[in-house]
């Protein structure tokens, strides 16, 4: 299966009540790439997916699959596979009936259909479930059937609308890695929508973060996390410590609780870092403060350290040492994990 | 265990109401099987009246069945797409249309029939054929199919199922027949049985629209009450009940299944 490049050129979509869901969106998704569209509800991510699918038509702008303009084509002529949020399996058909539906529509011969159906059942690990009714399936099984059904006609593009949102946490984690493996293996161009940053990071080759119908940032998961384009992206993809700079010193930046190493040329008013980039030290550190809270989270613990700023610092530590409440904590930080944000 | 007086009172009242409604039916059935109703059961039981009714009125039975089946077909062909359109539009216009559709049920049948006669009465061939009655029946029974089908459609998350079918390459017509209709089967079946039942028993409209050559069962019944012996008319009722009771039982079974489906 090979992918198709998807291009959106200046796509805008407003709804009948006047709210603009997507503002003049330009976007290129390379062939074979998996793009995660991430954002809070109402940010336009689902509308973007539906524009690509052909379930919505842009008011202005064009959609291209490869070199062909598909803006005017309805979904049934775009050759896409889609996994819906609640899977939308046909309750009147059994599992196999659902999977071969797209093949039947395309006039594939019964023998070929049966062959393809067993291929796909095997791909999603449901070999013996072909004759099951949809009502007998668990949530995870339904998700797999929906995926198999979407893939059966060998679509050019695979679209997934919150594919794991309807599952419980443990199952979601497992299916997430399964899905990631599957998408990599197929090499199909895939776009999926999610509000879960962990899912976006695990599955996406690149992530498009949307805010109020506009692109906030389009980058690799690593860049989104480590070099967020603005405060919205930074806060949406993880927790954040902010340091207000009191004054610039020859070797760094003076902030509440100590001095941060800084070798950037610019002299920012605020610098940021992620909670896991603050290291708890035995005695010497860049920052010193008092422990005001400690939460055991299994693999790591989260410490709240008051350094005299408005908010206590968040520190994620894999060190299992237990500190007494109110004890003095020394924290160290590497200069390269500090970043600034344009607001 | 001692039952309270209240319970006994309620039981007696319930039985009384049941008797009030059921005794006339039983009386009528017995009348149809009694040799001489005025002498009572002592005159003996007989199937003669049934045979006599069948000889005189069997064409009305066949015509009624033909009408009911044709009516169910027409209502399906018109009603299922109509229900689909109304559910999809769901605006002020569609709600107004829904009300309008119920009008022939609310209006006295004689009035609707008169309107039909005024409009189409001059087309002689049409006026004297059974199709004229069919039009009346379709008008009258349409909402009884459209309503349950709409209810099922609204429950089934059809829009997203249709989007799924479209994403797999199915065009609008294919989607209608492969997704919409199969997922509304229960509603359609319930509607069809209701329509058949109503069409078989319809008298008001039919009485105005019929000709001597196109008499349906209920019209024949009225005829026999007016002109023949009471035993004949009662035997006629018996035949009607034999046709309609199995239908009503089926209707009940389907609506029970429907409400179970809704709870799932």
> Are residues B68 and B38 located together in one domain of the fold?
no
Q: What is the mean pLDDT of residues A312-319?
A: 87
| Closest CB from A53, A89, A153 relative to B169 | A153
CB contact under 8 A, A75 and B166: yes
**Phi-psi category of A61—alpha, beta or left, where left has phi over 0 and alpha has psi -120 to 50?**
left
Task: Identify from A76, A77, A158 which residue to disrupt to test chain B contact, counting B C-beta atoms within 10 A and taking the largest count.
Answer: A76
Instruction: Give Cβ neighbours of residue B258 (< 8 Å, ≥ 6 apart).
Output: B148, B152, B186, B187, B190
Residues in chain B: 264
pLDDT at B261 over 70: no
Q: At what angle do helices B185-201 and B130-155 cross, to 10 degrees?
A: 150
Cα(B230)–Cα(B28) distance, integer angstroms: 9
Cα(A70)–Cα(A55) distance, integer angstroms: 12
pLDDT at A12 over 50: yes
> Are residues B36 and B70 located together in one domain of the fold?
no
pLDDT at A342 over 80: no
Are the C-beta atoms of B201 and B68 separated by less than 8 Å? no
A202 exposure class (CB count in 10 Å sphere: 0-12, 13-18, 19+): middle
Measured between CA atoms, the residue of chain B closest to residue A103 is B168
pLDDT at A2 over 70: no
CB contact under 8 A, B178 and A86: no
- For A:134-173, CB contacts with B below 8 A are 135, 149-150, 153, 159
What are the b/e assignments for A294-307, b being 16+ CB within 10 Å?
A: beeeeebbbbbbbb
Q: Report the DSSP beta bridge partners of residue A208.
A: A37, A218
Which phi and psi (to 5°) does residue A27 adopt?
-155, 135
A82 CB neighbours in chain B (<8 A) are: 163-164, 167
Are the C-beta atoms of B31 and B95 separated by less than 8 Å? no
pLDDT at A153: 92
Cα(B145)–Cα(B188) distance, integer angstroms: 7
Strands A252-255 and A247-249: antiparallel
CB contact under 8 A, A135 and B264: yes
Instruction: Say how many C-beta atoms besides its own lie within 10 A of residue A31's C-beta.
Output: 15
> Are residues B15 and B84 located together in one domain of the fold?
no
CB contact under 8 A, B169 and A79: yes
Cα(B201)–Cα(B247) distance, integer angstroms: 12
Domain that holds residue B23: 1-46
pLDDT classification of A206: cutoffs 50, 70, 90: very high
pLDDT at B122: 86
Instruction: Say how many C-beta atoms besides its own lie within 10 A of residue B123's C-beta.
Output: 11
| Closest CB from B170, B182, B185 relative to A105 | B170
Question: What is the count of residue pairs from A and B with beta carbons less than 8 Å apart?
Answer: 63
CB contact under 8 A, A92 and B167: no
- What does CATH list as the number for A6-236? 3.40.50.300
> Are residues B7 and B119 located together in one domain of the fold?
no
Number of domains forming the structure of chain B: 2
Query: Which tens digit of pLDDT belongs to each residue from B195-243?
Result: 998 998 899 899 988 888 888 988 888 888 888 778 888 888 888 888 8
Are the C-beta atoms of A82 and B167 separated by less than 8 Å? yes
CB contact under 8 A, B169 and A106: yes
> Are residues B255 and B183 located together in one domain of the fold?
yes
Query: Which tens digit of pLDDT belongs to each residue from B76-121?
Result: 999 999 999 998 888 889 889 888 888 888 888 888 899 989 988 8
pLDDT at B17: 94
pLDDT at A58: 92
Q: Which contiguous run of DSSP H or E holds residue A270? A: strand A270-273
> Are residues B1 and B64 located together in one domain of the fold?
no
Mean pLDDT of chain A: 89
CB contact under 8 A, A149 and B171: no
**Phi-psi category of A37—alpha, beta or left, where left has phi over 0 and alpha has psi -120 to 50?**
beta
Are the C-beta atoms of A234 and A341 separated by less than 8 Å? yes
Q: What is the mean pLDDT of residues B11-38?
A: 88
pLDDT at B259: 66
pLDDT classification of A246: cutoffs 50, 70, 90: confident
Query: Which tens digit of pLDDT belongs to each residue from A253-308?
Result: 888 888 888 877 777 888 888 898 888 888 788 888 899 888 888 888 888 999 88
Which phi and psi (to 5°) does residue A73 adopt?
-80, 135
pLDDT classification of B263: cutoffs 50, 70, 90: very low
pLDDT at B264 over 50: no
More confident residue, A1 or B212: B212
Are the C-beta atoms of A202 and A175 separated by less than 8 Å? no
Query: Which tens digit of pLDDT belongs to each residue from B136-195?
Result: 999 999 999 999 899 888 887 888 999 999 999 999 999 999 999 998 888 898 899 889
For domain A241-337, the CATH architecture is Beta Barrel (2.40)
> Are residues B77 and B207 located together in one domain of the fold?
yes
pLDDT at B25: 87
pLDDT at B1: 59
Query: Which tens digit of pLDDT belongs to each residue from A94-113?
Result: 999 999 999 999 999 999 99
Cα(B151)–Cα(A76) distance, integer angstroms: 27
Are the C-beta atoms of B47 and B35 separated by less than 8 Å? no
Question: A191: closest CA among A9, A53, A13?
Answer: A53
Are the C-beta atoms of A247 and A267 separated by less than 8 Å? no
Instruction: Say how many C-beta atoms besides its own lie within 10 A of residue A145's C-beta.
Output: 27
CB contact under 8 A, B167 and A150: yes
More confident residue, B12 or A309: B12
Are the C-beta atoms of A222 and A66 separated by less than 8 Å? no
Residues in chain A: 343
Measured between CA atoms, the residue of chain A closest to residue B174 is A105
pLDDT at A1 over 50: no
| Closest CB from A74, A92, A153 relative to B168 | A153
Cα(A93)–Cα(B98) distance, integer angstroms: 31
Whole-structure pTM value? 0.79
Instruction: State the virtual CA torsion across A59, A61, A66, A68 in degrees, nearest 10.
Output: 70
pLDDT at B254: 78
Q: Report the DSSP beta bridge partners of residue A220.
A: none
Query: Which tens digit of pLDDT belongs to each residue from A58-84?
Result: 999 999 999 899 999 999 999 999 999
Q: Does A229 touch chain B (CB under 8 A)?
A: no
> Are residues B78 and B1 located together in one domain of the fold?
no
pLDDT at A158: 93
Which phi and psi (to 5°) does residue A217 adopt?
-165, 145
Interface pTM, i.e. ipTM: 0.82
B169 CB neighbours in chain A (<8 A) are: 76-77, 79, 102, 105-106, 153
Task: Identify from A94, A101, A142 which residue to disrupt to test chain B contact, counting B C-beta atoms within 10 A and taking the largest count.
Answer: A101
CATH value at residue B170: 1.10.3720.10
pLDDT classification of A185: cutoffs 50, 70, 90: confident
Q: Does B163 touch chain A (CB under 8 A)?
A: yes
Domain borders along chain A are 6-236, 241-337
Separation in Å, CA of B154 to nearest CA in chain A: 15
> Are residues B85 and B191 located together in one domain of the fold?
yes
> Are residues B95 and B136 located together in one domain of the fold?
yes
> Are residues B6 and B118 located together in one domain of the fold?
no
CB contact under 8 A, A81 and B185: no
pLDDT at B109: 85
Q: Report the DSSP beta bridge partners of residue A36.
A: A192, A207
**Phi-psi category of A125—alpha, beta or left, where left has phi over 0 and alpha has psi -120 to 50?**
left
Instruction: State the virtual CA torsion across A9, A10, A11, A17 in degrees, nearest 10.
Output: 180
């Amino acid at each position: 299966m090979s992918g198709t490049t998807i291009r959106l050129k200046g796509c805008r979509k407003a709804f009948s009540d006047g709210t603009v869901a997507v503002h003049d969106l330009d976007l290129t998704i390379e062939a074979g790439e998996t793009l995660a569209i991430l954002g809070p509800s109402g940010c336009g991510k689902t509308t973007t997916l539906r524009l690509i699918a052909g379930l919505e038509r842009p008011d202005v702008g064009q959609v291209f699959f490869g070199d062909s303009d598909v803006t005017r084509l309805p979904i049934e002529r775009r050759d896409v596979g889609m996994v819906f949020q609640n899977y939308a399996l046909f309750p009147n058909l059994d599992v196999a009936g659902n999977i071969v539906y797209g093949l039947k529509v395309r006039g594939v011969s019964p023998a070929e259909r049966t062959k393809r159906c067993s291929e796909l059942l095997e791909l999603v690990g449901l070999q013996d479930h072909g004759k099951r009714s949809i009502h007998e399936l668990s949530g995870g099984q339904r998700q797999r059937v929906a995926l198999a059904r979407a893939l059966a006609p060998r679509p050019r593009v695979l679209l997934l609308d919150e594919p794991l949102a309807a599952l419980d946490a443990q199952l979601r984690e497992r299916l997430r890695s399964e899905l990631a493996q599957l998408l990599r293996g197929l090499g199909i161009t895939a776009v999926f929508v999610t509000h879960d940053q962990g899912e976006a990071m695990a599955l996406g080759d690149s992530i498009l973060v949307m805010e109020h119908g506009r692109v906030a940032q389009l980058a690799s998961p690593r860049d989104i996390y480590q070099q967020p384009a603005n405060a919205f992206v930074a806060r949406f993809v993880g927790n954040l410590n902010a340091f207000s700079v009191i004054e610039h010193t020859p070797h760094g930046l003076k902030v509440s609780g100590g001095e941060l190493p800084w070798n950037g040329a610019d002299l920012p008013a605020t610098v940021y870092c992620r909670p896991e980039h603050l290291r708890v030290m035995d005695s010497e550190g860049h920052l010193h403060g008092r422990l005001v809270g400690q939460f055991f989270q299994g693999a790591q613990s989260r410490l709240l350290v008051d350094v005299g700023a408005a908010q206590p610092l968040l520190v994620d530590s894999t060190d299992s040492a237990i500190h007494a409440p109110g004890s003095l904590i020394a924290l160290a930080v590497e200069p390269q994990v500090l970043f600034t944000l344009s607001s | 265990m001692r039952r309270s007086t209240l319970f006994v009172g309620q039981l007696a009242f319930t039985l009384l109401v049941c008797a009030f409604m059921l005794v006339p039916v039983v009386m009528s059935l017995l009348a149809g099987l009694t040799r001489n109703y005025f002498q009572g059961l002592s005159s003996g039981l007989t199937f003669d009246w049934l045979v006599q009714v069948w000889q005189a009125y069997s064409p009305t039975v066949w015509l009624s069945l033909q009408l009911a089946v044709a009516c169910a077909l027409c209502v399906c062909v018109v009603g299922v797409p109509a229900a689909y359109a109304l559910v999809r539009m769901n605006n002020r216009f569609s709600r107004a249309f829904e009300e309008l559709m119920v009008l022939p049920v609310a209006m006295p049948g004689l009035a609707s029939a008169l309107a039909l006669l005024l409009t189409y009465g001059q087309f002689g061939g049409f006026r004297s054929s059974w199709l004229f009655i069919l039009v009346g029946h379709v008008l009258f029974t349409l909402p009884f199919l459209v309503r349950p089908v709409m209810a099922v459609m609204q429950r089934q998350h059809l829009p997203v199922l249709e989007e799924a079918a479209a994403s797999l390459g199915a065009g609008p017509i294919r989607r209608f027949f492969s997704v919409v209709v199969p997922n509304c089967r229960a509603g359609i079946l319930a509607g069809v049985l209701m329509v058949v039942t109503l069409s078989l028993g319809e008298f008001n409209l039919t009485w105005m629209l019929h000709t001597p050559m196109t008499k349906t069962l209920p019209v024949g019944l009225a005829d026999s009450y007016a002109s023949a012996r009471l035993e004949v008319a009662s035997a006629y009722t018996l035949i009607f009940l034999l046709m309609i009771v199995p239908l009503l039982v089926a209707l009940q079974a389907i609506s029970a299944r429907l409400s179970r489906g809704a709870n799932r």
